[in-house]
Structures are given as C-alpha cells and as structure tokens.
C-alpha cells in the first residue's frame, strides 16, 4: 500500500519547507521527505564539539524575502541585527562598514561609498522584484511571460537614461574594475570584492561579479543578521509553520528515486523501499542530482540532459568552526565588536590571489575569511564563558587535485588558522576543538552536488531566464509534474525562500490554468 499526496517535496531544505508550507496553505496534502535527521538542509545548527554548536553552512541571514516572512508569518528571533562589517587590518586600523557609511577611510572614499551604495541599492531593488516571480520564458507568446519581460525592460528603462546605461554596463562587469575605479582604501576594495565572490567559484576579476554583489544585496540591502540558535532556528520555525499548515515532514528518509511513468511523475521511492504516490513531485535537491540521480537520464532528452550535466556547480567555499575557551584578542577591537561580522581581505588583489590556486585545483594558502563569533550574543551555542567562531573560508575547490583527504583538510585548516592568527595572535591557544567542512563534505553531508552554495554557479549564463538551464527555468522540468524548488532554480542560493515560494506559486498557478 502506498500513501497518496497532492504533492511530495524531496528534501527539507529551507526552500522545500517554504514551498511545502505554501502548498499546504492552499489546501494541498503535502509530504516532505528529508534524508538527514534534521530539517533545514544546509540551513541547520549542529553540535560540532561537545557543547559547541554552529550553523553548519549558511551562518548569516541577509536575504530572507519579506514576502516569505509575511506569507508564512515568520518572526525569527535574532541574536544580532544589522551587523557592522569590520574589514580587519593587521595594524589595527580596521574599517567599519554599515549601510552606506564606512568609517576609517578618507572623506572622498566615504562620499564615493555613499554614492556607490545608492546606485547598488537601486539596482538590487530592481532585481529583487524579479527574484520574487518566476522568470519569463523567452521566445514564447505566453501573455504572462511577455508581460513580465516587458515589465523588466520598462523597469530598466525607468531607471533613467544614465542609470539604465550604468545598469547595462555594470551587470556583466567584474567587481575589481569597479572598486579600483572608485575607492582609494585597499581594505574597502577588499571587503566589497569579498562580498561579491562569497560562495562562488569566481574571483574579483571574473565577469559578472557585480551581478553576484547585487544578488547578495537583493534581500535586505545587505543587512546581515544572526538568528538566535543559529540558522537551524529558521528551519525549525519554517518546519513548525509547515506542520501547522498540515504538512507531513519525515526525516531520515532519503529518497532513492523519483518514479517516472510514461513521461510523468507518479511518486517517489525511498532508500528504505517505501513508496509514496503523487502526481506532483518537487525537488529541493540540486538540478544535477534531481535529474541525473533521482530521475535518471533515460527519462529526459539528450539535449536537456547534456545541459544539466554541464551545469557548473563546483563549490569553493568551506566552513570552519572553532570551539574557543575564550575570545581571542584582536588589535584595535573592543570586546563588543565580536558581535559583528569580520572579514579578512586586505585588498582586491588579495582576494584574486586567493582565487588563483583554485583555478588549478589547489586551495588558497592565504584564504579570504568571513568570520563571526555567534556565541557572543547567543549563549545557547557554547558553554558559559566559552565561544564559537564560525567562518566562511575561500578558496577550497571541490575538485582539489589531490582530493580532500585528512591531510589536505588539516593543511587547509592550518592555512586558515594562520591567516586569522595574523589578526588574532592568540587564537591558536584558545582552540579546544574544530571542524572544517570542505565542499566535498558539504556534498556528502548535505547532498549538494559539488558542494556549491547556490547549487549551480551564479553566472549570467545560468541566471534568470536560463537558471538552471534552458528548458527548466520556470521550476517545471520537462517531465510532467516534476518541479525544482531549490537554490539551483531561479533566483539562486542563500536563505531567502524565494525559490521555494516561486515554485509553490508556479505549481498553484498551473493548476488553476488547467
């Protein structure tokens, strides 16, 4: 006997949860199957050492879409809100960046930064509108698609002649050229470059890194927060809302395959051999895993399969968690500063040089670091008086030449710790335990092919109308009843909920159209 549902969501990542909750809210019976024993996918809080917990992957909340928050009535408790970014300097002359203000630079730079932010905010607001609707298809006569497309054109035009030209000039450009043109301060240039490349296989000189910078700003204007209890708390809240709407969530239930019969989905089969029936299956897994592993190449056509196969999704961001017996000391910082976000990116060249080895399958000997001390504001994460450091570190290429064995992981970990120690000399003495998650670990533990933040590289050729690939850009895959709702779908990764919400809306709209 098999259970029958209106919809089955494969994977309880935050997008899968958003999607399931919205479908249930519309009256659907929904089942969510999660491979791991925790909900949240990569948005989870895990204990990595006795008494010490950290957000396993994503550790900062800056993109949760207001639409998602509103529709699901989310009110996450925040440990830190609107954090200042501190660009660390070895001599203690740090920069402090918040909103459109930056302290520690010349008046010229401060003025330029205000202007830069104003423009970027305008552009990212424009993009944000489109992140919250399915991208229009190109080359169709569908009225809704044409309308959205016309609206996008109109919105770009409405920026005004000069701003439109700027938008079109900048969107494919690299962040390096923009920051070197604008700013004198190396630290400021470095911090902006880092924001543009975090979570990608891109360096500041790579094309379209202004687009990735805008993408990052397109949630909450770049304001970063830390949820109380880590990122897992967001997922837990989402799961609670979903359950409240009647969604059935089952963890430790890895899906073995999505069953396709005569060109349409009929349900899923789990590793344990259970089958669940539904004519609508929504995959929160990445596009490659969904099509190649869960569905199987023989159920799609060659051209489509080839596009999916060639999706670029080589993760490059690793996560380092340190259990500390006390806060380290950093020259020029007060104790209260440990509640802020710190970045290590001396200048734009430092970031690019960190990227260079990654092109050849080697990790950065001098990595870039985005670090936080979440336990500073959230005592639930570490024993009293002790602390946790959570850092995103780049670059650690998924396809490391010699493979991510224990020796390679240890070597990279030491490189990161040495880098941090240049600013916090006593950090090494404070470490009592540590955990490094390379993209290879992220792949095996969170089932993300390539261990990539965005499931698929965030580049113009895999963006908007063609994300993840041509023929699947509107959440529907070319198999009847099969949809994507994860980061690999439009608009992309980050804890935003946009992909999950758009997918749910697409499914409900298609149903209405039938």
Partner 1 sequence: MKHEPVHQGRLKSPFYSRLESLDTVNEWHQWKGYSSADQLYCSDTEYFAIRNATGVFDLTPMTKYRITGPDALDYLNRLVTRDMAKIRPGRVAYAVWCDDNGQVIDDGTIFHLREGEYRLCSQERHFAWLKAAAIGFDVTITHETDEVAALAVQGPTSYSVLSKMNLEGLEELKPFGLMHFDFQGKELMISRTGFTGDLGYELWIDPDKAEALWDALFEAGKLHGIRAIGTTALDMARIEAGYLAAYMEFLPADETVRTGVSRSPLELGLDWLVDFKKPNFNGRRALAKEKRNGSTWRLVKLDIEGNKEAHHSYIFSNAKARGGNIGFVTSAVWSPVCKQNIALGTVKTPHGKPGDTVWVEIYYQREMHWNRKMAKATVVDKPFWFPPRRGATPPGPY
How far is residue 221's CA from residue 287's CA, in Å, rounded to a whole number? Answer: 28
Which CB atom, from 51 or from 471, has the smaller least distance to partner 1? 471
Q: Which residues contact 33 (CB under 8 A, 6 or more apart)?
A: 8, 9, 10, 11, 12, 250, 253, 254, 255, 268, 270, 276
- Residues 47, 184, 301, 511: which binds partner 1 (CB under 8 A)? 301
Residue 229 contacts partner 1 per CB under 8 A: no
**DSSP letter assigned to residue 143:** H
- Size of residue set near partner 1 by CB under 8 A: 19
Q: Which two tokens stand for residue 328?
A: 């380290």
Q: Which stretch binds partner 1 (CB under 8 A): 151-159, 296-304, 411-419, 439-447?
A: 296-304
Q: How far is the CB of 31 from partner 1 (least distance, A)?
A: 25
How many angstroms separate the Cα of 4 from the Cα of each of 29, 30, 257, 261, 279? Answer: 9, 9, 16, 16, 9
Q: How far is the CB of 477 from partner 1 (least distance, A)?
A: 12
How far is residue 283's CA from residue 132's CA, in Å, rounded to a whole number? Answer: 19
Which CB atom, from 139 or from 273, has the smaller least distance to partner 1? 139
Pairing status of strand 101-103 against strand 95-98: antiparallel
- Residues 70, 161, 298, 336: which binds partner 1 (CB under 8 A)? 298
- Residues 272, 302, 512, 514: which binds partner 1 (CB under 8 A)? 302
Give the ranges where 447-497 is alpha helix by DSSP (H). Answer: none
Q: Which two tokens stand for residue 70?
A: 């509103």
Which CB atom, from 46 or from 299, has the smaller least distance to partner 1? 299
Q: Which stretch binds partner 1 (CB under 8 A): 299-307, 374-382, 395-403, 461-469?
A: 299-307
Q: How far is the CB of 295 from partner 1 (least distance, A)?
A: 10
Which CB atom, from 309 or from 509, has the smaller least distance to partner 1? 309
- Residues 78, 173, 297, 415: which binds partner 1 (CB under 8 A)? 297
How far is residue 346's CA from residue 198's CA, in Å, rounded to a whole number? Answer: 15
- Residues 25, 28, 189, 299: which binds partner 1 (CB under 8 A)? 299
Residue 384 contacts partner 1 per CB under 8 A: no
Residue 425 contacts partner 1 per CB under 8 A: no
Quick note: the x/- pattern for partner 1 over 441-480, rule CB under 8 A, is: ------------------------------x------x--
Residue 306 contacts partner 1 per CB under 8 A: yes
Edge-to-edge strand order for the sheet containing 7-10?
Answer: 248-250, 30-33, 7-10, 281-283, 482-484
Give the ranges where 198-347 is alpha helix by DSSP (H). Answer: 209-217, 231-244, 287-288, 302-309
Return the closest-CA partner of residue 459 out of 124, 162, 288, 208: 208
Count CA within 13 A, CB hemisphere, residue 320.
Answer: 28
Which CB atom, from 157 or from 309, has the smaller least distance to partner 1? 309
Residue 305 contacts partner 1 per CB under 8 A: yes
Residue 296 contacts partner 1 per CB under 8 A: yes
According to CB under 8 A, which residues from 311 to 340 bind partner 1?
Answer: none
How far is residue 316's CA from residue 310's CA, in Å, rounded to a whole number? Answer: 17
Which CB atom, from 101 or from 309, has the smaller least distance to partner 1? 309
Quick note: the x/- pattern for partner 1 over 475-514, rule CB under 8 A, is: ---x------------------------------------
- Residues 213, 276, 304, 398: which binds partner 1 (CB under 8 A)? 304
Which CB atom, from 122 or from 312, has the smaller least distance to partner 1? 312
According to CB under 8 A, which residues from 236 to 295 bind partner 1?
Answer: 260-263, 292
Which CB atom, from 169 or from 306, has the smaller least distance to partner 1? 306
Element (H, E) at 9: strand 7-10
Pairing status of strand 52-55 against strand 45-49: antiparallel
Residue 346 contacts partner 1 per CB under 8 A: no
Rounded to 10 degrees, the C-alpha dihedral 197/199/200/204 comes to 10
Q: Which stretch binds partner 1 (CB under 8 A): 127-135, 178-186, 304-312, 349-357?
A: 304-312
Which CB atom, from 101 or from 310, has the smaller least distance to partner 1? 310
Pairing status of strand 275-277 against strand 264-270: antiparallel
Say if residue 73 is preceded by a cis peptide, omega within 30 of 0: no
Instruction: Please answer whether residues 190 and 369 qualify as being in contact, where contact means their C-beta atoms are separated by less than 8 angstroms.
Output: no
Which residues make up the interface to partner 1 (CB under 8 A)? 260-263, 292, 296-306, 309, 471, 478
């Amino acid at each position: 006997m098999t259970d029958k549902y209106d919809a089955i969501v494969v994977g309880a990542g935050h997008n899968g949860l958003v999607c399931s909750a919205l479908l249930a809210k519309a009256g659907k019976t929904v089942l969510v199957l999660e491979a791991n024993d925790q909900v949240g996918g990569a948005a989870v809080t895990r204990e990595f050492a006795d008494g010490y917990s950290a957000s396993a992957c994503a550790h900062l909340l800056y993109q949760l879409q207001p639409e998602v928050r509103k529709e699901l009535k989310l009110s996450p408790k925040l440990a830190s809100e609107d954090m200042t970014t501190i660009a660390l300097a070895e001599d203690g002359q740090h920069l402090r960046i918040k909103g459109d203000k930056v302290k520690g630079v010349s008046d010229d730079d401060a003025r330029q930064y205000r202007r830069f932010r104003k423009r970027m905010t305008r552009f990212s607001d424009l993009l944000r509108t489109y992140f919250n609707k399915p991208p229009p298809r190109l080359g169709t006569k569908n009225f809704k698609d044409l309308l959205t497309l016309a609206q996008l054109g109109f919105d770009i035009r409405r920026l005004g002649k000069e701003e439109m030209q700027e938008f079109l000039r900048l969107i494919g450009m690299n962040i390096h050229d923009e920051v070197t043109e604008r700013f004198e301060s190396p630290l400021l240039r470095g911090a902006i470059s880092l924001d543009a490349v975090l979570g990608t296989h891109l360096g500041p000189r790579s094309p379209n890194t202004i687009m990735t910078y805008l993408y990052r700003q397109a949630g909450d204007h770049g304001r970063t927060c830390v949820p109380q209890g880590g990122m897992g708390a967001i997922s837990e809240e989402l799961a609670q809302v979903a359950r409240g709407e009647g969604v059935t969530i089952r963890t430790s239930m890895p899906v073995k395959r999505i069953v396709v019969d005569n060109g349409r989905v009929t349900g899923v089969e789990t590793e344990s051999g259970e089958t669940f029936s539904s004519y609508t299956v929504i995959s929160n897994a990445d596009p490659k895993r969904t099509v190649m592993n869960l569905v199987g190449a023989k159920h799609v056509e060659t051209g489509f399969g080839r596009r999916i196969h060639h999706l670029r999704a080589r993760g490059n961001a690793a996560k380092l968690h340190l259990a500390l017996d006390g806060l380290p000391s950093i020259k020029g910082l007060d104790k209260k500063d440990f509640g802020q976000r710190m970045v290590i990116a001396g200048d734009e060249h430092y970031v690019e040089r960190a990227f260079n080895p990654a092109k050849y399958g080697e990790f950065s000997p001098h990595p870039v670091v985005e670090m936080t001390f979440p336990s500073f504001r959230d005592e639930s994460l570490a024993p009293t008086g002790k602390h946790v450091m959570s850092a995103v570190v780049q670059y650690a290429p998924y396809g490391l030449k010699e493979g991510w064995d224990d020796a390679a992981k240890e070597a990279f970990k030491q490189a990161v710790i040495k880098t941090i120690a240049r600013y916090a000399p006593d950090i090494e003495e404070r470490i009592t335990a540590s955990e490094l998650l390379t993209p290879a670990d992220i792949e095996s533990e969170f089932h993300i092919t390539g261990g990539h933040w965005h499931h698929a590289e965030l580049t113009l050729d895999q963006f908007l109308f063609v994300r993840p690939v041509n023929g699947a850009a509107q959440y529907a895959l070319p198999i009847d009843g099969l949809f994507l709702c994860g980061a690999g779908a439009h608009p992309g990764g980050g804890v935003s909920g946009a992909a999950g919400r758009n997918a749910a809306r697409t499914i409900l709209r298609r149903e209405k159209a039938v």
